Every structure is written in C-alpha cells, then in structure tokens.
Amino acid sequence: MDVGILSYGIWIPRHRIATEEIARVWGKDGASMAAGLGVKSKSVPTVDEDVVTMSVEAAEMALRRCHFDRADVGAIYVGSESHPYAVKPSATIVAEAIGATPDLTAADFEFACKAGTAAIQTCMGLVKAEMIKGGFAIGSDTSQGAPGDALEYSASAGAAAFLISSGPDIIARIDHTLSFTTDTPDFWRREGQRYPSHGGRFTGVPAYFKHVVTCGEKMMEAQGTSAEDYDQVVVHQPNGKFPLKAAKSLGFPREQVETGLLTPRIGNTYSGAVPLGLAAILDKAGPGDRVLVVSYGSGAGSDAFDITVTDAIADYHREGDDLVETRIAFNKFIDYATYAKYRGKILMGGGE
C-alpha cells in the first residue's frame, strides 16, 4: 500500500525582525552576524499566536485543499518544543478546532526540531496498518533564544501540517523512512527554564552533521540511490549555513537545496523547519519529482524520508494565500522593542 501526503498546510507569522536589528541591540556587527549565520531575518509571532494557533491554521489549510472528511482524521500529533501548556495537549485543541473530535487519537510530540517528522512516521505507521484512514502530523514552534544568545538570531516561529493517508489521491508517496538516533547532549531546556541551553560548537560536527549526514547516507544506501536521483533535498536548517554544508556532504549541489531552504528569510522554525521546507518544495513540484528529506532534532536524532511526487499534484490547489512564498512575502519588519514586547521579554508590572 502506498502511503503518503494527501494534503498539507502552513502558517508563518507576519512579523519579521532583521538579524541586524537584533545585533544592534546587543552591540554586535549585524552584517557579519547575518553573513555568519546565513540568516537575514526571522519570523516573530505576535502575542496572540502560539503553537496551537499556527497548527490550527496549517491543518485548516490542508483540509481546505483536499476532499477528506474531518471525521476521518484518525490521529493528530503536534510536534513542538514550545507547546503553550507544559501539561495539557496542544493536539486536543487542534482536533477540536478543526472538527476532528472525538473519534481519533491525539498526542503532543517533543524531540527538539524533529518532533514534526517523528509525527509523520507515526501517522505513516497507523495508516499503513490500516488503523486510521488519515492522520495529521504537525510541526509547529514559537521557539525562543535567550536575549543576546546566538540562538536569538535564528529561533523563530512557523508551522506545517501534513495529512498522511493512502490511496490514489495522495500528492506525494513516501517510499521509505528511517531514523538515526543517539544520546547527544547538544541542546536542551530543563523543566521550568524559560530559555534553552546549548553546547556551542559541540552542536555542529558531533551533533547536527553526524546525524543528518549519516541518516541521509543510510537512506540512500537503503534505497540504492545517490544525489542525482533526487530533484530536491530538504535538511534541517538551524541557520543558513549548516544545511548547505550537510547537503554538500551528501552530494547535493546548492541548487537542489535552495527551494526548501527558508531559514535565511524566516529563521529556524524548529519543528516547523523541515516540514515548511518540504511544503515549499511541494508548492513547486511536478509529478515524478523525487525529494530527500532529513530532519534533525537535538538530543539527538534524524528522520529521513524518500518521497516521490505523484500525478495527483497536478490538480492540487497551489496558489495565492496557500503558498509558502506568499506567506513569506506577507510580512512586516519590527524593531527589537516591539519584538521584545511580543515575545514576553519585558518584565510586566503586576499591579495597577
């Protein structure tokens, strides 16, 4: 049985802050920060946006673009490291908001930046086992970096939802998935801590690159493929540089990476990053296009997917408001003070 993506939807908040604006506040050289990170600007959620609201918008868009009965949504998994509640699932709110309750299973996933792709794998399993007709795998984050920390320049917000199902209407077939997982303390946030901590340069070679590259290699080995067999590749993108380098190690030239590389313009959307990159690729893909996907979650692990776009994509609604590019272009740049207000970085008085 072919399992794959029946539909997808995305959400990127309207506001942006420029890397140079953040650097200005912390006394850094903005131009070199932007060049060093490969990030010019990042998306900023307003005070009324969070993982749940973005997930709902993304899932709604997915449902709007296909013929799938909401009551047939058998699973909703919301992958995020910034769920609005520590205890109380985001997934139930999403389920209620899109009208999928009550006959479904729902849970929140957390695995740093790869919780969204872990959700895709789970949905695949349920669909393949014929336990559900279709399920939502959502990657959504409003990630925060500590003020002045390197992470603050990239940690951003966005979401993508994939409706995983089977049958002739799927727009992309997922031919294979595999994962590569170890215990690697490169990035973490302890319970009750507001901002995450990280291992600095340790996050590079032994963490990100080892997992992404090994997982990608294992996938191509399993499938008997090489870079030339794929039209596009999307790998996790904590900044604008790492993904280009990792893809290059896997044999992919820059041209095959760029369509799905959104971080330079909207920052690292964490659990939303690879899902949004894949969405950007699907926005432009044609029948028969093959895509290699490799996510990365600190802690650490990678999920790889070998995806082939089907003929059904020809009739799939891909224009206007629904496109990743439209939402990226729909933006308003704000200053650091406004950003700090929106992100709750200003200590508010409790009195009158």
Q: Of 271, 238, 258, 327, which Cα lies nearest the Cα of 55? A: 271
99 binds other proteins (CB under 8 A): yes
Indicate which single residue of 25, 97, 150, 178 sits in contact with other proteins (rule: CB under 8 A): 97
236 is annotated as an active-site residue: yes
Reply yes or no on whether 113 is catalytic. Answer: yes
| Rounded-to-integer distance, Cα 125 and Cα 123, Å | 5
Closest separation in Å from C-beta 341 to other proteins: 5
* Cα separation, 328 vs 77, whole angstroms: 25
Phi and psi at 302, nearest 5°, equal -130, 145
Report the residue number, 183 or 352, with the smaller CB distance to other proteins: 352
> Interaction with other proteins in 261-320: which residues (CB under 8 A)?
264-265, 320
Residue 90 or 302: which CB sits closer to other proteins?
90
The residue among 238, 252, 330, 271 whose CA lies nearest residue 38 is 238
Long-range contacts of 195-200 (CB under 8 A, 24+ apart): 195/144, 195/145, 195/146, 195/149, 195/151, 196/81, 196/143, 196/144, 196/145, 196/146, 196/151, 198/150, 198/151, 198/298
In Å, what is the CA distance from 16 to each residue of 241, 272, 332? Answer: 20, 16, 6
CB of 109 to other proteins, least distance (A): 20
Under rule CB under 8 A, residue 72 binds other proteins: no
Q: Check if the beta carbon of residue 49 is closer than 8 Å to that of residue 142.
A: yes
Under rule CB under 8 A, residue 52 binds other proteins: yes
Which of 14-22, 136-144, 165-173, 309-317 is the region at the interface with other proteins (rule: CB under 8 A)? Answer: 14-22
Active-site residue, selected from the candidate residues 113, 152, 211, 215: 113
> Which residues are within 8 A (CB) of 119 and not within 5 positions of it... i.e. 6 or more apart?
77, 78, 79, 109, 136, 137, 138, 139
Site string for other proteins, 228-267 (x = CB under 8 A): ------------x-----------------x-----xx--
Cβ-defined contacts of 24-28 (< 8 Å, 24+): 24/336, 25/336, 26/147, 26/148
Identity (one letter) of the amino acid at 238? P
Q: Does 14 bind other proteins (CB under 8 A)?
A: yes
Active site residue 123: no
Residue 136 or residue 342: which is nearer to other proteins going by CB?
A: 342
CB 306 within 8 A of CB 290: yes
Q: Which is nearer to other proteins, 86 or 129 (CB)?
A: 86
**Beta pairing partners, 297:** 301
Catalytic residue among 21, 57, 81, 152: 81
333 near other proteins, rule: CB under 8 A: yes
Q: Does 115 bind other proteins (CB under 8 A)?
A: no
Region near other proteins per CB under 8 A, out of 109-117, 175-183, 310-318, 330-338: 330-338
Instruction: Check residue 108 for interaction with other proteins (CB under 8 A).
Output: no
Catalytic machinery residues: 81, 113, 236
Chain residues in the site for other proteins (CB under 8 A):
14, 16, 18, 40-41, 46-50, 52-53, 56-57, 60, 84-85, 93, 96-97, 99, 240, 258, 264-265, 320-321, 326-333, 341-342, 348, 352
